[in-house]
Structure 1
Amino acid sequence: MRPELDRVADPGYVSENRLPAHSDHRWFRDAAEAASGRSVFEQSLGGTWRFHYAPNPAEVVPGFEDPGFDVSGWDEIPVPAHIQLEGYDRAQYTNVQYPWDGWEQLEPGQVPTGFNPVASYRRDFALEAAPAEGETVSVVFEGAESAVSVWVNGRWIGYATDSFTPSEFDITEALVPGVNVIAAQVIKWSSGSWLEDQDMFRFSGLFRDVVLRRRPAVHAEDLRVTTTLADDLASAEVRLEVALQGEGTVSARLEGVGELHDAGDGVLAVRVESPRLWSPESPALYELLVEVRDAAGTVTEVVPQAVGIRRFAIEDGLLRLNGRRVVFHGVNRHEFGLQGRVMTREQTEADLQVLKRINVNAIRTSHYPNNSFFYELADRYGFLVIDEMNLETHGMWDRLRYLGAGVEEAFPGDRPEWKPALLDRAANVLERDKNHPSVVIWSCGNESYGGTGIRDVADWFRANDSRPVHYEGVDWDPRHPDTTDVLSRMYTPVRDIEPYLAAHPGKPFILCEYAHAMGNSFGGVQGYLELAYREPRFQGGFIWDFSDQALPLVDPHGREFLGYGGDFGEAPHDGDFCGNGIFFADHSPSPKVQEVAKLYQGLQVTVGRTAFTVENRLLATASSAYACVVTLAREGEVLASATVETDAAPGGSAEYPLPVTVPAEPGEYVVHVSFRLREGTAWADAGHEVAWGQGVFGAWAPPASVGAAPLRLVHGIHNTGVHGERFHALFSRLHGGLGSYRFGDAADGGRELLTGVVRPNFWHAPTSNERGWGGPAEDGAWLIASRYLRVSPDSRDPEVTQLDDGSVRVVYRYPLPVQPATVCELAYRVDAAGRVEVTQTMELSDALPELPEFGVLLGTRPELDRWRWYGDGPEECYVDRREGARLGVHEVPVAEALTPYLNPQEAGSRTGVRWAEVTDARGTGLRLDAEGGMEFSALPWTPDEIEAARHPNELPPSVRTVLRPALMRRGVGGDDSWGARTLPEYRLPRTGTLRFRFGFTGV
């Protein structure tokens, strides 16, 4: 039979002939084969299939499943793959919107008829080994979006929904000797698609592996492994239940412990003395080897099962692991890369390795179950996992929020016809993943409001497992508070958490999403971590999210770029809202990772002038596990280094004297305390830094100008010239500013270092967060003031004064086109050595819009393409994202200084810059400095050019290097990207006098 459209649109038609969900264990012929990892019972059908694309069900090819049907002329397609990335249909990114919204008038369950692509697949296969007597053969579709129908040798096999968990079918009776033909048909949108409205790219097809599995006549169909840990953690019991098919017996042995004994009721158990406990820091795993024998005593299969002994539960009102309070240093992770949701085990392992390196200890599988190998790797590397079932109905929830619909329209809400699909998805994830120690919480899904359906899912989870249950939607629909065991919210400002806890006693609290890291973001997050270690019930959160979702494209000029919503010709779409990662789309680290690693480090280090303190926030690891190296430096030069043996216990703190002495001589000194791996691990080499702290002592001051011949002042008609032995500066009356600065000994007056007039600057290309809360509309007057600076007759004629010390002072005053009116003054003081000190001053009124930044823009020659500075770094940092930056001497090519966010925006700046040199290959150029530090960027483009580009490939060829020293830029913000402003303490003042002073000279 072939499912008709009305059946595909039936919410109750969840599956047909699909095998019940079971644990994701693998079985092998013997222990040696198990050790090799290659099972004779498995055969991958991944690779090339024949393929037909139909834009809707009416255009599918009838009878294609028949072995006699000729598909030799069909296209070929790889499996696994999304059809939209293989030349069919188109990729579509939407956040909340259902992908068909606005095209067809549909109610939940109904599916589009005009456009609803159907992918028909076919391939031949021969079994690598003929089934023995009594054996059965199944085919497993690990991921099929959104519903799959299956035939073998023309025989109807079955149908299944739930895109993100396995759909397995018994095909034994359909097999024939020799070559067999398997056919599959995947419809893009089924009734189940209404439950899959996650914030993600929308694809379809067979996007995970397809596998044949043979089952021996006597077979362990399902394993359930549980561990019970004594209160004093001194012993544990490991229990095993096996659902056995066929007549036979089961025995099991726990590595390093011994045989499991019969504990009654079909349970095997063993007591473990002094167990090695599983935790994120020490993910100890025991191997349980299960042996299955038939009635004659012959071994039919062996099953290796990793066992982590740990206790995770709500105890005394708090989430605890092995009795210790947990703080989630978490991220949300879409299973997504440059091939979409087609992820290999190797790619996933690389993801987990980089997350370990930045001190992440927890992952929420947003918002669907991942490939099974993810959980195996999470067990081994040590992550606390919130395992989320495949449910999100955000688009329907908005009907309640924005269109005024009543609670009776909540979806799935209280609708009984959807309950089977919900419980099916819950069973699919729990039964598959139940034996993974990394899974510590079950999640009922995401952003689907509330109702009895989700309440019943939570009850089912609790009835079938002991882990806590999570569902954030209770915060929006509090009718059924027992749906969740954990209070959960998204993007709550840190200032609102303690009042919320006071109003909602009794349960632990997490932020299942926080720090929406869209574009240049992740500012002000340190407050969350400080609160998590001050308020016991607030137990951390999960950053949104791990990596940008974007896909490779090529523009009409052959330039590669990463596409986001709208770049694939799709509608509706949600633009670059998919660019929320702390990692880029290729999973390389963004500058935000620098901050994450520091905030999430398990050892907090406070450095004083004579001693340092270590606060150990780890669960199970003393600081003695790491080498501690203390370094003393001055302006990037290491003066001394020594090691210290520390032993701060988990949950404790200790103070240690510094092994280096901070000099009493004038200058600025940095003491860096670094904790590093003593030995290499699976995720990092020996010497990898896991935690650090810095102390800064003394103060930096610009060097005094050396003596030089007196200045020569020239009052021309249009220019005022200030000339010294090695430099020449021209101040223009026509253009209203410093227009020329030449430096050097050449006979022609040296090398010109400016490419235009120095101007005050109040604007930058808006960040994603600023666009989210409407900053450009509110602050637009400052764009006008920066781009179209009014040079009036008064401002053209500068005030020029020769000072008593021989220097020359030149002052320009610019009336700004803002309301109420104000004036920005740039005062230059030029000394005989050629140093130009610039003082920018402006009076503010709270009636003016808020300033995005306050600084100066200088254009210099494009060959000045090397940037070296003494200040915060090495990565980009801003006033509200500098916890992870360390003071030192850093360098970066100017061409690489603009962080390549999906949508170009303000980026690439550094805070606390004492001095910066921008030079060419010979080391000549400009040196800028600011006593007390400044914010500074050196980029190939102006803010206007950056703002005009929608993608990095659209930035124009660079014709200058643009320097932007500033008193301050508005912090990037970090609560969310669609309404939360930068925290007040990281904004420029609204009233009073702003004054910024820096200097520059040729080098």
Structure 2
Amino acid sequence: MTFDLTRLADPRVVSENRLPAHSDHRWFRDRAEADAGRSGYEQLLSGTWRFHYAPSPADTVDGFEAPGFDASGWAEIPVPAHIQLQGYDRPQYVNVQYPWDGHEQVEPGQVPTLFNPVASYLRPFELERPLEPGERVSVVFEGAESAIALWCNGRYIGYATDSFTPSEFDLTDALVPGENRLAAQVFKWSSGSWLEDQDMYRFSGLFRDVVLRRRPAAHAEDLRVSVGLSDDLATAEVRLAVGVEGEATVTARLTGVGELTAAADGVLVVRVDAPRLWSPESPELYELVVEVRDAAGVLTEVIPQTVGIRRFAIEDGLLRLNGRRVVFHGVNRHEFGLDGRVITRAQTEADLQALKRINVNAIRTSHYPNNSFFYELADRYGFLVIDEMNLETHGMWDRLRYLGVGVEEAFPGDRPEWQPALLDRAASLLERDKNHPSVVMWSCGNESFGGSGIREVADWFRAHDNRPVHYEGVDWDPRHPDTTDVLSRMYTPARAIAPYLAENPGKPFILCEYAHAMGNSFGGVDEYLALAYTEPRFQGGFIWDFADQAIALTDRYGRDYFGYGGDTGDAPNDGDFCGNGIFFADHTPTPKAQEAAALYRWLLAEVDRDSFTVTSRLLSTRSSAYECRVTLAREGEVLAQAVVDTDVAPGGSASYPLPFAVPGEPGEYVVLVSFRLREANAWADAGFEVAWGQGVFGAWTPTAQLGAAPPRVVHGIHNTGVHGANFHVLFSRLHGGLVSYRYGDTADGGRELLGGIVRPNFWHAPTANERGWGGPAEDGAWLLAGRYLRTLPDARDPEVTVDRDGGVTAVYRYALPVHPSTVCELAYRVEPSGRVEVTQTMELVEGLPALPEFGALLTTSTPLENWRWYGDGPEECYVDRRSGARLDVHETPVATALTPYLRPQEAGSRTGVRWAEVTDDRGAGIRVDAESGMEFSALPWTPDEIEAASHPNELPPIHRTVLRPALMRRGVGGDDSWGARTLPPYRLPASGTLRFRFGFTGV
């Protein structure tokens, strides 16, 4: 048999000579090897390979697979790696579009011929020891995108498609003594690429490990572990079926329980009394040790297999774990990092630790099987996994939606030629991952419409396993509702869930994707969590998504940045739509993670003046497992702290008295109830906070400035000056506003703090969500209003009045270039202390577009480095994303206050700010306060500068600090990023009078 290129364009050819899929267990020669985790039956071939790049199959090197071929002139490339990140081809980010769309006219199953990069690899190897009698050797390519052809010592071995599951080939008959040579060609696009239209960067090459595996003559090829749990959870039965090769005898022992014995059907069985149940809160694992002996009784294999005893099923119409209703606090997770989809076990473990720290209990493997070690780690850390097979045909689904073709054109739909590929991908997923207790549902893929083909996949899953089956596409194509065991939708607004459930009775309901976290987003998600705990059939959802997909790039000036679609010259592309993470591209948390941690917390604390009530959302753990620490503070100063013993049962609620009295004296008092780990675990240190609640009592008031002499007023030709002991204010007739504020008792009149006129501000750099629903086009009038406002003629020379206490007031009225027209007024009252109180007023006229924000913009004359405030924090927060923010005194450097989203946009603001100080390193600067609270940001750039930059590295050098106190900014939104607006409660009013009062002074 020889390799034929026509296989690439034949969807019926899924593989040739590839070994059948089997469980992902590892086998060792003895117990010592198993304990060390290093198998003498495995030989890692990852490392440096010889490499040739060809832009199409026609440009490959003939005969390269021959044993004598001289590859000394070839380049070298690391394996695993994407060739596009090693200087070949280019990374391409597309969401729905097929990557070749518009370049070549190809129909499903066909592949581009003008440009279809081929990576040719060569790797010599020697077996670490001679083969034993009857022993066989295979090579496993854990991930090859998208199709691989393989030769060994010049002999054609086989071919395989499916980028995300192992391709394993038997090499035994092709091996020679001494040095052997593997030759592989990996094709970027094959017929299988039509099934791999996921929202992701498109790469190719060997991107997961390559491993040699040896099989002794007596070998356990496949393990199938199943668990039966009694209704009362008091006993369990662990069953083990082993697929053996050769004359083999198998024994097994469940550590701490006993030997498994053969049942009538030949399956090995053991009973477990009072089993330790596996759950996300307590991922208890047993070790099953399997031993294989040959006909002579000689031990050939030791196989350690973890077992989680749990029952996950649909019971009484609900998804239940060990009999308890489950709510998914989930995320979708692309397997993606700074090296693309080349991910190590250590990186994966760090991801799972980070997700545990923000209270995530569930992961959907969007939209393909992950590395096998992901599931091993999910077992150990405790995640509920929806394991998704490698299928998405979103581009073809759009053909139905936008081109008006009929349902008969659905793809893969009812097309029989694609059925072998679908069933093969289902088998590769299930057979490898079936023994992992973390896997609680099988998913038939993503966004591929519907049809009999996917229904047959669901039937195949059910015929081979008892886990529920998930498929969201039934929501769009209801012809085969039995394809899925759960109702599943994407991005359904929270307000639409209850009506949907009323119209669709019977099955439990999840949102397999929700809270599209693109850029500065993730607003209003609290409504979903509230509903998940009041509407039984709504059992939570999965945030889209875990981390930004981005490519590390360097600009022409040597500055590093994260690139997105189009930044490598890729076309077509979908821009920054890959930036949807609650974690950044380097997998550090964004401010959105602060919100997710709060919404997903498992213990709620509602604080009253004399007590607090704890409500548990835990499934199996009492609140006593965590230390409850209660703190009393007055405006950032801790007054008292105590530990309170709580013991709330899972799903229960109880109240406890506060361990101290909240003072009745004037001031604002905060009571914080914090739950912390008593001991370190695998994902956090002792003392790590897992949940908190806060109560606020009393009120903050500005400190009165008494005893200052009335300021001196100077009426000049062009300016009116107001001067005190340590401040100087100028109001300009020419420029129509407050143009100078000097502060400090020095010979030269103090330090100038303002870098320009104080202006009303109605605009911010549009967020990704605002761009998605067309906000800039609707809101654009407010950009002009703030940038090109005019002082009304009768207000250019404002009337200056002196109050009885010596305060001086000046009022400016600005005509705004909006239609219909309106006026914004700024009234300045200069107090004897030097504090300037600003009252900003505007009448909203019917017919005006919605306001992005209502506030003021002050720039400083020089950069101020430090920002300290009393308000919500510590991370960025907005009116619809402040559940995770707590009231306290916080601080952050101004230089890093603008959150570095992939594309710069409105960011870095804080809500509920009572006062903020922005100072230089000597402590000199400006203080802004608002008795009723405000939104506030201190950034190095204006909204215009932020909006003009496509990437953070394009922001200009820092020359000033921009302060933006605001009555309110529009909430960031978060239902989706392509049309969903901010929810009504988080928008500015559309009518009436807006009035915002704040003050500033030098410090």
Q: TM-score range by the shorter chain?
A: over 0.9
Q: For structure 1, which runs of at least 5 residues remain unmatched after alignment?
A: none
Q: Which amino acid aligns with 2:782?
A: W
Which residue does the alignment assign to 1:829? 829
- CA drift of 1:266 comes to 1.9
Which residue does the alignment assign to 2:626? 626
CA distance in 2: counterparts of 1:585 and 1:794, whole angstroms: 54
CA distance in 1: counterparts of 2:24 and 2:107, whole angstroms: 36
Is 1:684 aligned to residue 677 of structure 2? no
- What is the DSSP-based 3-state SS (H/G/I as helix, E as strand, rest coil) of the residue aligned with 1:217? coil
- CA drift of 1:32 comes to 1.5
4+ residue runs over 4 A deviation: none
Q: Which amino acid aligns with 2:283?
A: P
Is 1:914 aligned to residue 914 of structure 2? yes
- CA drift of 1:105 comes to 0.8
Post-superposition CA distance 1:615-648 (Å, at most 9, x none)? 0001111000000000000111000000000000
Post-superposition CA distance 1:842-891 (Å, at most 9, x none)? 00023100000000000013342110000000000000000000000000
- What is the DSSP-based 3-state SS (H/G/I as helix, E as strand, rest coil) of the residue aligned with 1:675? strand
Which residue does the alignment assign to 2:407? 407
Is 1:899 aligned to residue 893 of structure 2? no
- CA drift of 1:792 comes to 4.1
Which residue does the alignment assign to 1:469? 469
Residues 515 and 975 in structure 1, CA contact (< 8 A), matched pair in contact too = yes
CA distance in 2: counterparts of 1:567 and 1:927, whole angstroms: 41
**What are the residue-to-residue correspondences of 1:36-435 with 2, within 5 Å?**
36-435=36-435
CA distance in 1: counterparts of 2:476 and 2:797, whole angstroms: 62
- What is the DSSP-based 3-state SS (H/G/I as helix, E as strand, rest coil) of the residue aligned with 2:281? coil
**What are the residue-to-residue correspondences of 1:532-931 with 2, within 5 Å?**
532-931=532-931
CA distance in 2: counterparts of 1:136 and 1:790, whole angstroms: 85
Is 1:933 aligned to residue 928 of structure 2? no
- What is the DSSP-based 3-state SS (H/G/I as helix, E as strand, rest coil) of the residue aligned with 1:22? coil
CA distance in 2: counterparts of 1:686 and 1:751, whole angstroms: 48
CA distance in 1: counterparts of 2:482 and 2:991, whole angstroms: 49
- CA drift of 1:410 comes to 0.3
CA distance in 2: counterparts of 1:608 and 1:21, whole angstroms: 58
Post-superposition CA distance 1:350-387 (Å, at most 9, x none)? 00000000100000000000000000000000000000
Residues 882 and 911 in structure 1, CA contact (< 8 A), matched pair in contact too = yes
Residues 221 and 243 in structure 1, CA contact (< 8 A), matched pair in contact too = yes
Q: Which amino acid aligns with 2:519?
A: G
CA distance in 1: counterparts of 2:522 and 2:996, whole angstroms: 26
CA distance in 2: counterparts of 1:706 and 1:948, whole angstroms: 45
Post-superposition CA distance 1:154-208 (Å, at most 9, x none)? 0000000000000000000000011000000000000000000000000000000
CA distance in 2: counterparts of 1:795 and 1:76, whole angstroms: 73
- What is the DSSP-based 3-state SS (H/G/I as helix, E as strand, rest coil) of the residue aligned with 2:705? coil
Residues 863 and 940 in structure 2, CA contact (< 8 A), matched pair in contact too = no
CA distance in 2: counterparts of 1:81 and 1:318, whole angstroms: 43
Post-superposition CA distance 1:279-330 (Å, at most 9, x none)? 0000000000000011111111010000000000000000000000000000
Residues 630 and 660 in structure 1, CA contact (< 8 A), matched pair in contact too = no
CA distance in 1: counterparts of 2:248 and 2:114, whole angstroms: 54
- What is the DSSP-based 3-state SS (H/G/I as helix, E as strand, rest coil) of the residue aligned with 1:842? strand
Which residue does the alignment assign to 2:987? 987
- CA drift of 1:661 comes to 1.1
Post-superposition CA distance 1:700-721 (Å, at most 9, x none)? 0111122111211111111110
- What is the DSSP-based 3-state SS (H/G/I as helix, E as strand, rest coil) of the residue aligned with 2:790? coil
CA distance in 1: counterparts of 2:509 and 2:813, whole angstroms: 54
CA distance in 1: counterparts of 2:317 and 2:799, whole angstroms: 70
Q: Which amino acid aligns with 1:975?
A: D
- CA drift of 1:958 comes to 1.0
Q: Which amino acid aligns with 2:611?
A: A
CA distance in 2: counterparts of 1:325 and 1:805, whole angstroms: 65
Q: Which amino acid aligns with 2:497?
A: I
- What is the DSSP-based 3-state SS (H/G/I as helix, E as strand, rest coil) of the residue aligned with 1:51? strand
- CA drift of 1:262 comes to 0.7
Is 1:525 aligned to residue 537 of structure 2? no
CA distance in 2: counterparts of 1:2 and 1:942, whole angstroms: 64
- What is the DSSP-based 3-state SS (H/G/I as helix, E as strand, rest coil) of the residue aligned with 1:398? helix
Q: Which amino acid aligns with 1:882?
A: R
CA distance in 1: counterparts of 2:410 and 2:878, whole angstroms: 42
CA distance in 2: counterparts of 1:464 and 1:534, whole angstroms: 35
CA distance in 2: counterparts of 1:241 and 1:208, whole angstroms: 29
CA distance in 2: counterparts of 1:404 and 1:603, whole angstroms: 49
Q: Which amino acid aligns with 1:976?
A: D
- CA drift of 1:567 comes to 0.2
Residues 333 and 547 in structure 2, CA contact (< 8 A), matched pair in contact too = yes
CA distance in 1: counterparts of 2:944 and 2:255, whole angstroms: 64
CA distance in 1: counterparts of 2:100 and 2:524, whole angstroms: 37
Residues 106 and 112 in structure 2, CA contact (< 8 A), matched pair in contact too = yes
CA distance in 2: counterparts of 1:771 and 1:991, whole angstroms: 24
CA distance in 2: counterparts of 1:799 and 1:613, whole angstroms: 55
Is 1:503 aligned to residue 503 of structure 2? yes
Post-superposition CA distance 1:427-471 (Å, at most 9, x none)? 000000000000000000000000000000000000000000000
- CA drift of 1:944 comes to 0.1
- CA drift of 1:7 comes to 1.8
The two structures, once aligned, show a CA RMSD in angstroms of 0.7
Q: Quote the sequence identity (%).
A: 80
Q: Which amino acid aligns with 2:799?
A: E
- CA drift of 1:797 comes to 1.9
Residues 441 and 469 in structure 2, CA contact (< 8 A), matched pair in contact too = yes
- CA drift of 1:129 comes to 1.8
CA distance in 2: counterparts of 1:698 and 1:37, whole angstroms: 59
Residues 809 and 827 in structure 1, CA contact (< 8 A), matched pair in contact too = yes
- CA drift of 1:787 comes to 1.5
CA distance in 1: counterparts of 2:3 and 2:611, whole angstroms: 73
Which residue does the alignment assign to 1:514? 514
CA distance in 1: counterparts of 2:445 and 2:288, whole angstroms: 31
CA distance in 2: counterparts of 1:994 and 1:479, whole angstroms: 52
Residues 813 and 824 in structure 1, CA contact (< 8 A), matched pair in contact too = yes
Residues 788 and 816 in structure 2, CA contact (< 8 A), matched pair in contact too = no
Give TM-score scaled by structure 1 length: 1.00
CA distance in 2: counterparts of 1:183 and 1:799, whole angstroms: 87
Between the two proteins, the alignment pairs up a number of residues equal to 1003
CA distance in 1: counterparts of 2:477 and 2:692, whole angstroms: 43
Residues 671 and 694 in structure 1, CA contact (< 8 A), matched pair in contact too = yes
Q: Which amino acid aligns with 1:943?
A: P
CA distance in 2: counterparts of 1:862 and 1:990, whole angstroms: 37
- What is the DSSP-based 3-state SS (H/G/I as helix, E as strand, rest coil) of the residue aligned with 1:431? helix
Q: Compared with structure 1, are the counterparts of its residues 609 and 427 closer, same or farther at alpha carbon in structure 2 (3 Å cutoff)?
A: same
CA distance in 2: counterparts of 1:2 and 1:47, whole angstroms: 28
Q: For structure 2, which runs of at least 5 residues remain unmatched after alignment?
A: none
- CA drift of 1:906 comes to 0.2
Q: Which amino acid aligns with 2:332?
A: N
- What is the DSSP-based 3-state SS (H/G/I as helix, E as strand, rest coil) of the residue aligned with 1:264? coil
- CA drift of 1:473 comes to 0.2
- CA drift of 1:793 comes to 2.8
CA distance in 2: counterparts of 1:458 and 1:496, whole angstroms: 28
Give TM-score scaled by structure 2 length: 1.00
Post-superposition CA distance 1:944-977 (Å, at most 9, x none)? 0000000000000011000000000000001001
Q: Which amino acid aligns with 2:330?
A: G
Residues 15 and 161 in structure 2, CA contact (< 8 A), matched pair in contact too = yes
Q: Which amino acid aligns with 1:372?
A: S
